[in-house]
Structure 1
Amino acid sequence: MPTALIADDEPLLAEHLVSRLAELWPALEVVAVAANGLEAMAALGARTIDFAFLDIRMPGLTGLQVAQVAGQTRVIFVTAFDEYALAAFDSAAVDYLLKPVSDARLAQCVARLQREARPEVDLAAVLAQLAGRAAPALTWLTVGLGDTTRLVHVDEVIYFEANQKYTDVVTASERHLIRTPLKELLTQLDANRFAQIHRGLIVSLPAVARIQRDLLGRYQVHLHQRPETLPLSRSFAGQFRQM
């Protein structure tokens, strides 16, 4: 049975990759999940591991530094930063995945890793299977507030706003930060309730009071329970023409 190590300093992203690999490659055994470069190096030294999925920016040691001592382990970099691509392939990486990694891209990587040992994976069949088994829309969000963790129902959310590689969850009276990137979050939301209005914004449709266009032709979204207005990009304006 092939084995794998996953190293990422963001636990939710590591857990997500574990679950997606289990779906796409059931025969692969994830034998270690490391939270930083030092833990990844220790795991590689403790046993023989066939594949290492390494984040590049990690505390202690970077994924590039871990790859230098990976020996016969085949390395796949999983990172949010594309500027390391050349250095990654100089480290003899098998593949280079940009976060957030889509199922299609991960399936392509899995097919590549399996190709030498077994017949080529029918990528179209794998994607068709995934499409036919779509996950239910997200209902609850787990957010942190100081030392407290609480649940926020999506019905409370007014809008989501991208905050670097994280996302702000804005309710009528609060703002929370979650680790899920906006692009990944969009695929988990009910499309009948939430709509993307800007590259960095997703709004709850019931929260929209009105949409106005200023003298320069720019659209602004006014909300029922928040005083601020949100920009509506022209590329997303078509979905509101009937409002």
Structure 2
Amino acid sequence: MNDTNHTPRVRAVLADDERLMREQLRSRLTEVWPDLDIVAEAKNGIEAVELVKEHKPDLVFLDIRMPGLTGVDAARQIAQLPEDEDWLLPEIVFITAYDQYAVEAFEQGVADYVLKPAERERLQVTVERVKKRLSQRHSNEPVPDDGKPAAPMQQLLHKLSAQLNPGSAPAYLQWIQATVGQAIQMIPVEDVLFFISDEKYTRVQTATLEALIRKPIKELVDELDPKLFWQIHRSTLVNVKAINGITRDFRGRQLVGVKGLTEKLEVSRSYTHLFKGM
């Protein structure tokens, strides 16, 4: 069944370790978004990730504090799942009982939040935001610039992790030990223009050399400063300071230009919001 825009019904997964909270959220969503299909419910973060893999929803509601994996940790794993032609990574809405985890982190518009208990009026705002983002993602039109700086999901998740675990600020990688020819070389992280992975290796590109490491992108995402390195594709991280422009190819895909190189890096559809208005 299609809506008036001829787009498929939106499918969602709910994750909260409190059954009553899940029931209340489901009831409220039925009121404000009757066409939403809630395809599965999870009792913890581990179940949430598995259900997203299984059902490939458009939207996930994640309680921030859950056993097994927190909602933030679950979101990190979900953000690394492989996309395909028929499925983009889902929009994330966090559920929290604590204001301090909400307002500042979500002002950047990468995700949204619902305070417990979910009130109809506030949930309606979230639903409208999610509908708008889903519509923009599934169209080939560029996302209009609303004047706010874009930020990658990983940066928001790092910020939330710091709030959830005060006093445990992450120590980001400063050096990369990589293979250059037959030699091992220590490369300052700030010198890396981008990382790009294939099935076996990750390529480390600087202005003067190309090296290989065995560490996958999903590990590097958590080990690199998200303010310096943005994930623009499941297999690509780029140094923000190395970006010199965004273009589109004949298929409408965004391509990132890198200072000093002719090579272009493809931006997958889930990350096009990083370059709003470009």
The TM-score by the shorter chain falls in which range? 0.3 to 0.5
TM-score, with structure 1 as normaliser: 0.44
By relative contact order (CA 8 Å, sep 6+), the higher-ranking structure is: 2
Greater gyration radius? 1
TM-score, with structure 2 as normaliser: 0.39
